[in-house]
A and B are shown apart, each in its own frame.
Chain A
Amino acid sequence: MSDGEPLVRWQWIADHGAELADYTALHLRLGLLPVLFGLLVSVPLGILCHRRRRLYPPVLTVANILYSIPSLALFMVFVRYTGLTEQTVMIPLTLYTLSVLVPNVVDGLASVPEPVRLAATAMGFGTVRRVLQVELPIAVPVVIAGVRVAAVSSISLVAVGQLIGQGGLGYYITRGLQLDFPTPIVTAIVLIMLLALATDALLVLAQRLLTPWSRNRVTTA
């Protein structure tokens, strides 16, 4: 960075307001759609692993191996199939969420107390109904804990996608580096952090609304 250049030029931010907003929305989409897709895959996969315990170790191993592949390498693999598109970023990010979401779905289902499961069966719930109406709702707090971790890590990983031209706010980081101009870099980093924090806060709120029963522990009558 050249001498005398301030860390943040506020005028630049004011000039680029609309563009920043567009990139923020794009970043959010690139970061959160993979979590949604990850959840759509993890819930059935987690239910399956919970019911067939023998499947769980191999599934978890595969998810962890996927997670250990550097994102850059994974992007390059998918470029061959999906080109320099948003999908090329979102597919690896979706795969990464599995290593957090699948275990949380399995743990969430395991958190259902045995008497509750037994009572549900004894009252005449069929298997599908029991899973949907009793077990999954009780698993929600644990699943959301996983979604929070997946969402925050996914939002910060999006920026790496800039290496194939799909990085959301990551665009400003490479741009700033090329121009030797710190303002866009700092702005992008702060915005990414704010996005992560806001998403996390919304998820906490969602959990409170979805599971009013998990609050107020014993008050005696």
Chain B
Amino acid sequence: MIRFDAVSKKYPNGTTAVDEVTVELAEGAITILVGPSGCGKTTTLRMINRMVEPTAGTVSLRGRDIREVDAPELRRGIGYVIQHAGLFPHRTVLDNIATVPLLLGWGRKKARARAAELLELVGLPAEMAKRYPNQLSGGQQQRVGVARALGADPPVLLMDEPFSAVDPIVRAELQTEFARLQKELHKTIVFVTHDIDEAIRLGDRIAVFRDGGRLAQFDTPERLLSHPADDFVAGFVGQDRGIRRLSFVQAAGLPLRDGPVLPVTSPVTAARALDEPWVLVVDDARRPLGWTPVADLPESGTLADAALVPLGHTFSLVGDSARAALDSALLSPARLAVGVDADGAVVGVADAYELTAGAAPARRTDAAGSTVAADSAGGDR
């Protein structure tokens, strides 16, 4: 694990990049350093592999003060991924990935075999091995950057805004892929971003920095949203943190009611008898077909004759969060979220008020935990 002990970085011109940070980053977890630009998060990251030397305090890696280790040697044991990948333009993709193994003296053959493995691990086809970086798209370059950082299978990975330079669609793809990789690899990852959404999506723990290089809060994403330590953190996390927090509440526990749901074979009279403005029409397996406004129903016949309005989207009780459920309610023409089971059959409906009331108890339980000290947040609480 990585430990910062009263670490500061002050420059000769008087600016303080990092101010007395004490924090312990858990082994095998993703710790996100987040904050506005110039808050010292990248400086903090670079102190882990001695790209920046602290002016006070100590950084230790698995109990050993990193100043005891020769810097290039230390760095070969720590993977590093940066924003614009920083691939070597004069080396093929394969040789880029083989960089650290070659530096460690593995020999060309073994290093290349390892690189070929990593190419596959990051989801790139084998024929890319012989290409040069300028023949790849930004997203592909970033994947190679991750593969290169994993070259010698280092236990620690430092990532400095690795997904910031690609478009949002590719970014989401890379984030998903990254989360999958980490499930397999269990690296100790320190990840810098200025994007709080990315932090919440990927982090096991999040360290929020404020101007002047001070640690404002160190906590789980969920507690950061539910219990920001102060106004700065609350502001940085954003106006919609209440809604975002719903991402951490499982939809499975939400209260649903039967609601106005009728099979497509029902007579229109049955729909009128419900005395509701909208009726959800389902097929014989109870899969939703669409909403129909009762006022516009034909005089007679079945619901098969009714004009259907699209659903917006449903939410699944298996896997979706309360946030998806709330979104489903907001997008529904009837203002009712439709919950479905694993087979896509309707389980029940709820409106936005019912959903948020249902999500609230979860909030009270997690409020039982302690709140967070701003400057001296430890890792294992």
Contacts and interface: CB of A to CB of B under 8 A. Distances in A.
- Chain A partners chain B: yes
Interface of A: 113, 115-116, 118-126, 129, 134, 137-138, 140, 211-214, 216-221
Contact of A216 (B99, B134, B148): B134
Interface of B: 49, 51, 72-76, 80, 82-92, 99-100, 103, 125, 128, 132-137, 140, 145, 148, 158
A192 B88 CA distance: 40
Given A216-B134, A216-B135, A221-B136, A121 B89 contact: no
Given A124-B100, A218-B135, A115 B84 contact: yes
B82 A118 contact: yes
Contact of A113 (B72, B86, B91, B99): B86
Given A125-B72, A126-B72, A216-B132, A221 B91 contact: no
Contacts of A126: 72
Contact of A218 (B83, B99, B134): B134
Given A134-B88, A221-B137, 6 more contacts: A113-B84, A121-B75, A129-B103, A212-B132, A216-B134, A217-B134
Contacts of A218: 134-137
A123 B103 contact: yes
A124 B76 contact: yes
A212 B183 CA distance: 38
Contacts of A113: 84, 86, 89
Given A122-B49, A123-B99, A124-B73, A138 B135 contact: no
A134 B87 CA distance: 10
Contacts of B84: 113, 115
A119 B137 contact: no
A219 B99 CA distance: 24
Nearest to A122: B80
A14 to B, nearest CB: 48
15 contacts: A115-B85, A118-B86, A119-B82, A119-B88, A122-B51, A122-B82, A123-B99, A123-B148, A125-B103, A138-B88, A213-B90, A213-B91, A213-B133, A216-B134, A220-B137
B136 A115 contact: no
A118 B82 CA distance: 9
B135 A116 contact: no
A218 B135 CA distance: 4
Contacts of B134: 213, 216-218
B82 A123 contact: no
Contacts of A137: 90
Contacts of B100: 123-124
A118 B90 CA distance: 16
Nearest to A134: B88
Nearest to B103: A124
Given A123-B100, A213-B134, A116 B89 contact: yes
Given A213-B132, A218-B134, A219-B135, A116 B86 contact: yes
Contacts of B125: 221
Contacts of A129: 103
A17 to B, nearest CB: 44
Given A118-B86, A217-B134, A218-B135, A123 B80 contact: yes
B43 to A, nearest CB: 13
Given A216-B132, A221-B140, A211 B90 contact: yes
Contacts of B87: 116, 119
A28 to B, nearest CB: 30
Given A216-B132, A218-B135, A123 B76 contact: yes
Contacts of A213: 89-92, 132-134
6 smallest CB-CB distances across A and B, nearest first, come from A119-B86, A115-B86, A124-B76, A122-B80, A124-B75, A213-B132
Contacts of A140: 90
A34 to B, nearest CB: 28
A221 B90 CA distance: 19
A35 B90 CA distance: 25
A213 B100 CA distance: 20
B84 to A, nearest CB: 4
Contacts of B72: 124-126
